[in-house]
Amino acid sequence: MNVETSPAGIAAVFLDRDGVLIEDSGYPHREDQLIMMPGAAEAVRRLNTMGYVVIVVTNQSGVARGLFSEDQMHAFNALIVRRLAAKGARIQAVYACPFHNEARDPAYFHPDHPDRKPNPGMILKAAADHGIDLKRAFMIGDQPSDIEAARRAGIAGFRFEGGDLDRFVRDLFGD
């Protein structure tokens, strides 16, 4: 039976964006700043082949800080999805939280937004939106806030500290 379509619900992997899928260059939002992590496309493709839906959950305080617009954020996320798709790696959805407690733009101010990691809001919304069984899901992130968001959502969290993302995924599964 395919992992993704088990009667228990859909299996999923939640990935952080900056520092996991792409290099974290400090608020990346332009095409010239898009540098994929080594093994990113291969890791996503591997997870897809194993039957996992892959969803990106990312804090994007650069919007709140006035460094780029929400439209620029969405366009950059769409570019990442297209670049991965061109290599046979499918991202089901991207959830991004532009809110921050130090926002320069009052529209994006929130003292502790439920979607901003370490809060689990993006994971829980994605699970509801896509029929994900959280018992069959996990998170890969590079920050303690990613791992804490996973814990709060009731899923396993694995800390990626750089290097080849595909090797990291293979090691998780003992391949």
Per residue of the chain (175 residues), what is the pLDDT tens digit? 345 545 568 999 999 999 999 999 999 999 999 999 999 999 999 999 999 999 999 999 999 999 999 999 999 999 999 999 999 999 999 999 999 999 999 999 999 999 999 999 999 999 999 999 999 999 999 999 999 999 999 999 999 999 999 999 999 998 7
What's residue 2's pLDDT? 47
Tokens 């750089």 map to which residue?
162
Distance CA 69, CA 9 (A): 35
Tokens 């996320």 map to which residue?
77
Q: For the chain, where are the E strands, in sequence order? A: 10-15, 53-59, 93-97, 132-141, 156-159
Distance CA 31, CA 101 (A): 27
Q: CB of 54 within 8 A of CB of 91?
A: yes
- Domains of the chain, residue spans: 10-143+160-172
Residue 142 is among the residues annotated as catalytic for this protein: no
Q: Which of 18, 115, 142, 146 is catalytic?
A: 18
| CATH no. of 10-143+160-172 | 3.40.50.1000
What's residue 1's pLDDT? 36
Backbone CA torsion sign across 110, 129, 19, 153: positive
Residue 24 is among the residues annotated as catalytic for this protein: no
Q: CB of 140 within 8 A of CB of 16?
A: yes
Q: Which of 16, 24, 115, 166 is catalytic?
A: 16
